[in-house]
Amino acid sequence: MGKADFLSPKAISNRIKAKGLQKLRWYCQMCQKQCRDENGFKCHCMSESHQRQLLLASEDPTKFMDYFSDEFKSDFLELLRRRFGTKRVHNNIVYNEYISYREHVHMNSTQWETLTDFTKWLGREGLCKVDETPKGWYIQYIDRDPETIRRQEEQARKKKQEMDDEERSARFIEEQVRRGRTSKETDETPVYTELKRESEEEKVAFNLGASSSIAGPSKSSSVLGASALKTAASSSTKRKDTSSSSDSRGEKKKKSALEEIIEMEEKKKQSVRTDYWLQPNIVVKVITKRLGEKYHKKKAIIMEVRDKYGAVVKMIDSGDKLKLDQNHLETVIPAPGKKVLILNGPYRDTEAVLEGIDEKNFCATLTLDSGQQKGERVDVAYEDFSKLA
């Protein structure tokens, strides 16, 4: 029976019936022909063209199945990548969009019997991330394009750099607030000492002018020293007629008061902080981005300090020498047990050994390895010490 003429009622009826998807059991993948009913599919199977295709397939059936499997996989992944990208989506949604194209490769001609088997295979091969939920299987495409990977790594690196800058600023502000509170509490907390006298006949002298000046928050060490010396001198004068044992105790008391004044003066001098911290032979990290990726976040050794705020550094990796400002550098925290140099604060220019790190308070515990207080353990902020070269 011949075909109906173009635009004839019969031809239009046939096109309307053939529009859209038909039943899968009446589709021949070898001949890529869709039949509308069982009788048409039976006639197609008995046709000469179908028999020739079967003879070709019988020679190497694995070859045809692999070809159809590759076509199905490629078209399915291309639709998933183009339509959904790297979003997590239900596998049935993707499959319904895939089979909406009439000329697609049907699954019954591939090596996978069900959509679930195909989804599990995608997960085992590492092509997609798959997970099973009570609502079914979900898939997420893994984009392995080199350009996409490079772009994602660049975005992640920029985001990390921004987070590092923000964290460093927040850490610096928090450290300044903590130091301000500590110094305020230290200044406002008065120190009380017990009043003792050696004998009942000894008189105690009070200097009202000195006490009024000491009462304020900014007490002068010179006034304190003068009052202490005056008290010690008056007490020693009045104790001249006492026994030798009381004289020796008075001399010891006078000596301890002088020592306390000297220690107070030394601590006051040491507590002065400076806005420059560069020292030779320490390891630092370059944080400026103006020099490019070659030097950014790379470690260097300070060879020479110029004008307190500048330094000539030698890169550890490449050996290049650069002249940088201290704003372009930051300190390096080594592993526990390594030697460091304290750069600022009361123990400036003192070598120490790193014992541990307190991440909560942004400081580290150091054991002093030089100076008069050798062996003492102190807590020092991150930015006040660095690794020794």
Residue 20 has pLDDT above 90, yes or no: no
**Is pLDDT at 120 greater than 50 in this prediction?**
yes
Q: Which residues, 6+ apart, have CB-to-CB distance to 9 below 8 Å?
A: none
Q: How sure is the predictor about 386, in pLDDT bands with cuts at 50, 70 and 90?
A: very high
Q: Mean pLDDT over residues 249-274, rounded? A: 64
pLDDT in tens, 42-65: 888 888 888 787 777 777 777 778
Cβ proximity of 116 and 32 under 8 Å: no
* Per-chain mean pLDDT for the chain: 77
What pLDDT was estimated at residue 197?
A: 59
Q: How confident is the model at residue 347 (pLDDT cuts 50, 70, 90)?
A: confident
Contact of 28 with 35, CB cutoff 8 Å? yes
- Mean pLDDT, range 211-226, rounded to an integer: 44
For residues 298 and 198, which has the higher predicted lDDT (pLDDT)?
Answer: 298
Cα–Cα distance, 130 to 139 (Å, whole number): 4
Instruction: Report the pLDDT value the prediction gives residue 217, as an integer from 0 to 100.
Output: 44
Q: What is the number of other CB atoms lying within 10 angstroms of the CB of residue 119?
A: 22
Contact 269, 229 (CB under 8 A): no
Residue 251 pLDDT > 50: no
Cα–Cα distance, 106 to 51 (Å, whole number): 20
Which is more confident, 294 or 273? 294
Round to whole Å and give the CA distance between 295 and 286. Answer: 7
Which one, of 334, 276, 283, lies nearest residue 308 by Cα? 276
Assign 272 a pLDDT band (cuts: 50, 70, 90). low
Q: How much is the pTM?
A: 0.34
Where is pLDDT greater, at 31 or 122?
A: 122
138 DSSP β-pair partners: 90, 131
- Overall average pLDDT of the 229-245 stretch: 50
Ranges 90-99, 129-138, 188-197, 363-372: which has the least confidence: 188-197
d(CA 116, CA 136): 9
Measuring CA to CA, how many Å separate 334 from each of 11, 39, 285, 338, 354?
84, 82, 12, 6, 8
Percentage of the chain with pLDDT > 70?
A: 74
What are residue 374's phi and psi, to 5 degrees?
Answer: -60, 135
Mean pLDDT of 170-198: 71
pLDDT at position 194: 65
278 close to 302: Cβ distance less than 8 angstroms:
yes
* Bigger pLDDT: 210 vs 384: 384
Give the mean pLDDT of 226-235. Answer: 50
Residues 6+ apart with CB under 8 A from 197: 204, 235
- Give the separation between CA 306 and CA 292, rounded to whole angstroms: 24
In the structure encoding, which two tokens stand for residue 360, read together? 């909560």
Strand order in the sheet with 351-358: 377-381, 363-368, 351-358, 339-342, 385-387
- Look at 14-28, 176-190, 246-260, 320-334 and tell me which has the smallest mean pLDDT: 246-260
Checking 381-385 for CB contacts under 8 A at 24+ apart, the result is 381/175, 381/345, 382/171, 382/331, 382/333, 383/172, 383/175, 383/277, 383/330, 383/331, 383/344, 384/277, 384/331, 384/342, 384/343, 384/344, 384/345, 385/331, 385/340, 385/341, 385/342, 385/343, 385/352
Q: What structural domains does the chain harbor?
A: 18-141 (1.10.10.2030), 204-270 (no CATH), 283-387 (2.30.30.30)
Q: Phi, psi at residue 155, to the nearest 5°?
A: -65, -40
Residue 255 carries which side chain, given as an amino acid letter? K
Give the pLDDT confidence of 143-177 residue by residue, as tens digits. Answer: 877 777 777 788 888 877 777 777 777 888 888 88
> SS3 for 88?
strand
- Asked whether the predicted pLDDT for residue 313 surpasses 90, the reply is yes
